Amino acid sequence: MWVWDADGICSTCHQEMKQEKIQKDFDDFYKDAEEDETFDTWSDEFVICPHCGYAIPTDLGYEDFPEIYEDGDHEIDCPECEKTFVLETAVSYSWETKKKEGE
């Protein structure tokens, strides 16, 4: 199913553009970074490899990376550079209530 954003870009292309931007930002950061500086890999859309900057899509499916959906720390192998890193997953919940009709 194709979904188009407000700019007329399909959702797949939009995701790829975001991945490319993360990779460019990662590469640009390390061109000028001090030795003890690290790239901020926090994301609510991708798992970003701290070694190479590859943005792993989180919509790959539960069977590909089931651990990314479980609260806690997990060792992940980057599909791009094949290096291992620790992923910290933080699961949060929220609730909203409504009055029952007629009460």
How would residue 62 be classed by pLDDT, with cut points 50, 70 and 90?
Answer: low
Residue 48 parent element (H or E): strand 46-48
Average pLDDT, the chain: 87
Burial label, 48 (beta-carbon count in 10 A; 0-12, 13-18, 19+): buried
∠ CA 35-22-55, nearest 5°, is 100
pTM for this predicted structure = 0.77
